[in-house]
């Protein structure tokens, strides 16, 4: 139970590559993020990352019409069937080739997958065959190059496929007599999108060079004739489906292609080009990269490589709207079911935007760190997380919603460390640009900038408990600088280290600063005694990270040789050590000339963090594993694999020998033909691929770790983003002092006898969440103080912790707040004596209360403004009615005065809202 942490969310990464999709109700965006899938709820302003992952980065997601299941396919063609209701993986399948697109039919009975130049139609799972999720129905051949896009007719009778060979193919999903396949040309570049008109066979095709072709069919959907012959199918020929039933009775051939022989009394489907339109180009490289069409409103959305998107009304091709939303290529476009919201994904910057085109406003706008995240810190109540990245940005995330609500861009170089002050409303960040900045979370501004007399690159940062002293260590001058938060003045420059200062940490109970350096020492500086060195702790190797236990009675130090040593800062003696190098288990990079086992000898932990109770320590570094060690026993308790994404480097212990040649590894070849994410200009003499240094494959690593002050979660900044792991106690049976008489029946018997305190004790001994909640909510409101006074001391902490976790999600605010007040009033002195153990519970309680306070204050302000507006409106109508009865010139004067009053009141309300 204590270490049952599970992946709960991914922050800092909103979109990587692939196609975006809207949920059935249009209120949520489903976005592929690396090898995971995130769901962004636009109504409730929350995000959730599904606990399923593929072995490589996801390229396409197919969503069923009812929104219950999704087919997720990665770069290699490995597919997963995922339930969006239970968030579980239902089935695994492998297409053995990269898949370009996947689309369900509108009736949900079939779906089409395109890989290379073939379109494969499968029976949708759960509709006909329950035992096999992926049952192949037909294979359609036609295009000579890779396929790019799919669209279905509204009645699921036909589908259209676009290709890189500049052709578009219309296929019959069933065996029609007058339509087997039909090929359309007319374009001079790759087909980006093809769309059927609503309840029609009419087509729109869009190509990469910005050309739109409008195709008109001479046959309606109800004019398709069912083929009656059931002859044995012939082997497929180019341009025909594999299992097509070509009738060859008396020399008759059934085709849907122009110029082919026709069956008697059967009018084959034919297309003609109605019109051709061209999008406005702003340059030679402004390619059309993404397109989406909303059939009910006839709105076509097109995205371009320059970050511009257009809205056109078809078939007249009237420009409705045009806007530049990014300076990077728009990779994916999607429209929700109502046609109001449009989502855009830019893989170059990792941006996800949702635009409401009628009001011309952003519904959702998120972007992660462009480069790697370097550091993170929790706020004292655990409600916020601040991260700093190599892109020079400082972002603040809400742990409840999983979204970023403010970004500070004042730094001009990489941010190396970030931290909160003890108040929780000030963020301090250090950067390689030579500045340490303090940001105010009330006014969202940079109110202090600390600099050194000589330019220095700050690689470490610490703020004392009072929030008055700010210290930063330089990696080039080996000095530690101290500033005053109140005045912003430099107080002292601490010298003595003979190597770069890698980490700083203030004691949580004393005014003592611990500094770790590459000179193999830990120095303890006394802030009250003229900033002198109090102790110097010798290390066996270069110091990389140092952290204090929450009670300030122990130090943990990570060194370059992979060890974690524990020290008593009072006596300056080492109390223990953990050899953690063998727990890192690093993989072999594709450019390494040595094995993974030899490479692991040079790896070490670079980040340490104590748990909230101080009994264990969390460690991570240049590896895909995060380890939790027990400090007292000095042993590994649990190891977490933070990623299984093989698209990252150094993930596998052995390289694939099939990719090894005499010239090097084929995995280093950047396969691409200049179609957006690939190589635009290859090396001279290279026909396919690129062996130049432009190829980049990130290496998986953990740069920073932090436990939440509540102790129920921990976060890590990794190559993937900000990973959050939290306790999930609903599936873990962890009873306390269990006996034979502790059963749900005996607990409910005590409730019927109105023995509230014994019922609570029995429920906490059984330790089932639903049962504890049932017992607590059965207790009458007026009996709560009496019950709290008669509880044994050992159950007071347990009850307070449960109330704190229940208050976070429950709507019974007054009821649970009464429990909290009674427990703290009656047992406050006893809890104070165990402040170290009870601190995480109190911080969780503070987080829940603060969250409800924020929500209620916003709701009350909104209601107050509405009431003021309604009162002013009724007053205006009453005066107007009285003026109409009296008549005269006074009416205009009163109306003007009242309108001035209302305008002033509305301005005051707007200021209050802001």
| 721, two tokens | 């983003």
Higher pLDDT, 460 or 882: 460
Q: DSSP secondary structure string, 678-718?
A: S-SSPPTT-SS---STT---PBP-EEEEEE-TTSSEEEEEE
pLDDT of residue 356: 92
pLDDT of residue 529: 77
Beta bridge partners of 616: 630
Yes or no: say if 563 and 541 are a contact pair by the CB < 8 Å rule: yes
- Residue 836: name the closest of 358, 359, 509, 489 by CA: 509
pLDDT of residue 857: 86
- Residue 323: name the closest of 372, 284, 356 by CA: 356
CA-to-CA dists, residue 414 to 370, 428, 433, 459, 642, angstroms: 11, 14, 7, 10, 24
Question: ∠25-26-31 over CA atoms, to 5°?
Answer: 120
Query: Could you tell me the end-to-end alpha-carbon distance of the chain, in angstroms, rounded to an integer?
Result: 44
Using DSSP, state whether 303 is helix, strand or coil: strand
Tell me the C-alpha distance between 535 and 640, whole Å.
35
Alpha-carbon torsion (844, 849, 851, 852), positive or negative: positive
pLDDT of residue 129: 55
CA-to-CA dists, residue 746 to 148, 755, 764, 769, angstroms: 64, 11, 13, 16
> pLDDT tier at 276 (50, 70, 90 boundaries)?
very high
Tell me the C-alpha distance between 507 and 509, whole Å.
6
**Angle of helix 813-833 versus helix 835-886 axis, rounded to 10:** 150
Query: How many Cβ atoms are within 10 Å of 280's Cβ, its own excluded?
Result: 11
Yes or no: say if 31 and 20 are a contact pair by the CB < 8 Å rule: yes
Higher pLDDT, 87 or 768: 87
Alpha-carbon torsion (857, 858, 862, 863), positive or negative: negative
Q: Residue 754: pLDDT above 90?
A: no
Q: What is the pLDDT of residues 147-183, one digit of tens each?
A: 999 999 998 999 999 999 999 999 998 888 888 889 9
Yes or no: say if 436 and 450 are a contact pair by the CB < 8 Å rule: yes
pLDDT of residue 257: 42
Q: DSSP secondary structure string, 243-299?
A: T-----STT-----STTS---TT-----EEEEEEEEPPPSSTT--EEEEEEETTTTE
CA-to-CA dists, residue 326 to 463, 587, 741, angstroms: 37, 37, 65
Q: What is the pLDDT of residues 839-888, one digit of tens each?
A: 777 877 888 888 788 888 888 988 999 999 999 998 888 888 888 777 65
Q: Residue 302: pLDDT above 70?
A: yes
Provide mean pLDDT across the span 615-636. Answer: 90
Tell me the C-alpha distance between 375 and 189, whole Å.
45
Query: How many Cβ atoms are within 10 Å of 669's Cβ, its own excluded?
Result: 18
| 501, two tokens | 């200062």
- Residue 138: name the closest of 166, 102, 168, 175 by CA: 175
- Residue 641: name the closest of 655, 620, 656, 615 by CA: 620
CA-to-CA dists, residue 452 to 250, 426, 446, 476, 612, angstroms: 94, 21, 18, 13, 34
Tell me the C-alpha distance between 552 and 536, whole Å.
17
> pLDDT tier at 897 (50, 70, 90 boundaries)?
low
């Amino acid at each position: 139970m204590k270490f049952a942490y599970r992946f709960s969310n991914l922050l800092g990464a909103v979109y990587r590559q692939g196609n975006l999709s809207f949920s059935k109700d249009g209120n949520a965006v489903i976005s592929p993020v690396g090898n995971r899938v995130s769901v962004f709820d636009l109504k409730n302003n929350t995000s959730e990352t599904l606990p399923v992952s593929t072995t490589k980065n996801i390229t396409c997601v197919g969503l069923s019409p009812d929104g219950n299941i999704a087919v997720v396919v990665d770069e290699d063609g490995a597919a997963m069937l995922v339930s969006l209701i239970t968030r579980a993986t239902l089935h695994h399948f492998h297409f053995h080739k990269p898949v370009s697109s996947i689309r369900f039919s509108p009736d949900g009975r079939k779906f089409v997958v395109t890989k290379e130049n073939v379109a494969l139609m499968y029976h949708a799972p759960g509709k006909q065959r329950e035992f096999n999720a992926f049952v192949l129905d037909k294979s359609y051949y036609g295009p000579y190059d890779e396929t790019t896009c799919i669209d279905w007719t509204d009645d699921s009778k036909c589908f259209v496929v676009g290709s890189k060979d500049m052709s578009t193919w219309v296929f019959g999903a069933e065996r029609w007599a007058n339509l087997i396949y039909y090929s359309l040309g007319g374009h001079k570049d790759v087909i980006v999108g093809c769309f059927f008109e609503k309840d029609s066979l009419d087509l729109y095709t869009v190509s990469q060079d910005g050309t739109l072709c409008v195709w008109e069919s001479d046959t309606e959907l109800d004019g398709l004739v069912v083929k009656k012959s059931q002859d044995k199918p012939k082997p497929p020929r180019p341009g025909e489906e594999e299992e097509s039933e070509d009738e060859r009775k008396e020399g008759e051939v059934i085709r849907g292609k122009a110029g082919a022989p026709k069956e008697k009394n059967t009018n084959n489907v034919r297309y003609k080009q109605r019109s051709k339109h061209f999008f406005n180009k702003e340059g030679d490289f402004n390619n059309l990269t993404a397109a989406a069409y909303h059939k009910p409103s006839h709105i076509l959305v097109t995205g371009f490589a320059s970050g511009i998107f257009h809205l056109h009304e078809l078939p007249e091709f009237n420009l409705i709207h045009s806007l530049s939303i990014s300076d990077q290529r728009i990779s994916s476009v999607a429209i929700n079911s109502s046609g109001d919201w449009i989502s855009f994904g830019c893989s170059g910057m990792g941006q996800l935007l949702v635009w409401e085109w009628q009001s011309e406003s952003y519904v959702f706008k998120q972007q992660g760190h462009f480069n790697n995240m370097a550091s993170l810190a929790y706020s004292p109540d655990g409600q916020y997380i601040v991260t700093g990245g190599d892109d020079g940005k400082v972002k603040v995330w809400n742990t409840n919603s999983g979204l970023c609500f403010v970004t500070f861009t004042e730094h001009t170089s990489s941010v190396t460390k970030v931290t909160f002050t003890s108040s929780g409303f000030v963020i301090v960040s250090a950067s390689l640009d030579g500045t340490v900045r303090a940001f105010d979370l009330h006014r969202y501004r940079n109110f202090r900038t600390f600099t050194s007399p000589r330019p220095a690159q700050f690689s470490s940062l610490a703020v004392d408990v009072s929030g008055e002293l700010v210290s930063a260590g330089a990696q080039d001058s080996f000095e530690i600088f101290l500033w005053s938060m109140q005045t912003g003045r430099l107080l002292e420059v601490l010298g003595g280290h003979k190597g770069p200062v890698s980490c700083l940490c203030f004691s949580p109970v004393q005014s003592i600063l611990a500094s770790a350096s590459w000179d193999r020492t830990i120095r303890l500086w006394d802030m009250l005694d003229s900033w002198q060195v109090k102790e110097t702790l010798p290390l066996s190797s270069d110091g990389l990270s140092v952290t204090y236990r929450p009670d300030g009675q122990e130090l943990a130090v990570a060194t370059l040789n992979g060890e974690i040593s524990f020290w008593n800062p009072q006596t300056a003696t080492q109390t223990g050590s953990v050899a953690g190098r063998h727990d890192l288990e690093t993989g072999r990079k594709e450019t390494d000339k040595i094995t993974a086992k030899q490479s692991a000898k040079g790896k070490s932990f670079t980040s340490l963090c104590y748990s909230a109770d101080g009994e264990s320590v969390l460690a991570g570094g240049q590896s895909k594993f995060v380890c939790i060690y027990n400090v007292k026993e000095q042993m590994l308790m649990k190891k977490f694999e933070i990623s299984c994404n093989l698209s990252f480097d150094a993930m596998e212990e052995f390289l694939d020998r099939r990719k090894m040649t005499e010239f090097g590894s084929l995995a280093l070849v950047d396969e691409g033909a200049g179609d957006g994410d690939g190589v635009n200009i290859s090396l001279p003499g290279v026909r396919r691929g690129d062996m130049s240094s432009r190829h980049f494959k990130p290496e998986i690593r953990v740069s920073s770790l932090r436990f939440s002050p509540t102790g129920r979660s921990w976060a890590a900044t990794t190559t993937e983003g900000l990973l959050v792991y939290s306790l999930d106690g609903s599936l873990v049976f962890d009873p306390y002092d269990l006996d034979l008489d502790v059963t749900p029946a005996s607990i409910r018997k005590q409730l019927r006898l109105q023995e509230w305190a014994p019922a609570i004790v029995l429920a906490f001994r059984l330790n089932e969440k639903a049962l504890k909640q049932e017992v607590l909510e059965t207790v009458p409101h007026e009996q709560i103080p009496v019950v709290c006074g008669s509880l044994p001391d050992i159950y007071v902490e347990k009850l307070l912790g449960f109330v704190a976790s229940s208050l976070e999600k429950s709507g019974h605010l007054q009821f649970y707040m009464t429990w909290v007040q009674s427990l703290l009033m009656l047992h406050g002195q006893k809890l104070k004596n165990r402040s170290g153990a009870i601190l995480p519970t109190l911080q969780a309680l503070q987080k829940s209360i603060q969250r409800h306070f924020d929500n209620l204050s916003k709701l009350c302000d909104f209601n107050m403004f509405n009431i003021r507006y309604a009162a002013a409106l009724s007053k205006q109508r009453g005066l107007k009615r009285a003026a109409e009865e009296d008549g005269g010139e006074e009416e205009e004067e009163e109306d003007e005065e009242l309108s001035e009053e209302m305008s002033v009141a509305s301005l005051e309300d707007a200021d209050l809202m802001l």
